[in-house]
Structure 1
Amino acid sequence: MSSQKWAEPFEKKLRTYLPLLSADTELTPDLNLANHGLDSLATVGLLLDLEETFAVTIPDHLLSVDTFATPAGLWAVIDSLRDRETVK
C-alpha cells in the first residue's frame, strides 16, 4: 500500500486506468499518470468513476492536465470536494 493518505477505493479505481503500471509497483504521489497509460479516453472514464465513487462533481475549471497529472494532484481535488460536500 502507498504511504500516501488517500482512500483505498481511490487507489483501486486509479490502478484500473493505468495499464502500464504493474500490480507490484507502488502508486506514489508523484507518479506520472500519462506515462503509465492514462490517456484522454481513460481520463474521462476515471473522472466518471471517481465522481460516482466519492459522490462528488469535479467542476469544469478543475478539469485540466495538471489535475490528472499525478495521484497526489487528483486526490487533492477529490478530497477537497469530499470535504465541501460533507459541509453542505
Structure 2
Amino acid sequence: MWDQRFETILRQHLPFLDPEEPLLGGASLRDSGLDSLAMVELLAVLESEYNVRFVDEAMSMETFATAQTLWSALSDMLGASV
C-alpha cells in the first residue's frame, strides 16, 4: 500500500471522495473528481513533496487512473532516485 503522506495529498485533489470513505487502490480517480487541472496540480505537489520528477512516459491518463497506478509510478521513481 502507500504511505499516509500520499493519501493525504491525493485526497486533497479528490472532491467527490467523502472524508470518511476509504481510498481504495482500484477506484477511479476521475470518478472521485480528479480532472485535468487537478491532475496537473497533484503532479506538482507530488514532485515537490517526494522530490521526484515525473518523466514523460508517466504523465498519462493510465498513470492517474487509480490510486494504485499512481502510487506504483511514484514508487518506481522513488526507487530510481535512491
TM-score range, shorter chain: over 0.9
Partner residue in 2 for 1:62? 58
1:50 and 2:67 correspond = no
TM-score, normalization by structure 1? 0.91
TM-score, normalization by structure 2? 0.98
Partner residue in 2 for 1:78? 74
Cα offset for 1:62? 1.2
Select the structure of larger CA radius of gyration: 1
What is the distance in 2 between the residues matched to 1:82 and 1:62?
A: 13
Q: Which runs of 4+ in 1 moved over 2 A?
A: none
Q: Give the one of 21, 29, 42 matched to 1:25.
A: 21
Q: Tell me how large the CA RMSD over aligned residues is.
A: 0.5
Q: Is there any run of 5+ residues in structure 1 with no aligned partner, and where?
A: none
SS of the residue corresponding to residue 69 of structure 2 reads helix
What is the distance in 2 between the residues matched to 1:15 and 1:38?
A: 10
Size of the aligned set, in residue pairs, is 82
Structure 1 residues 31-61: Cα deviation after superposition (integer angstroms, max 9, x where no partner): 1000011000000000000011111001011
Cα offset for 1:67? 0.2
Q: Give the one of 35, 40, 60 matched to 1:39.
A: 35
Q: Is there any run of 5+ residues in structure 2 with no aligned partner, and where?
A: none
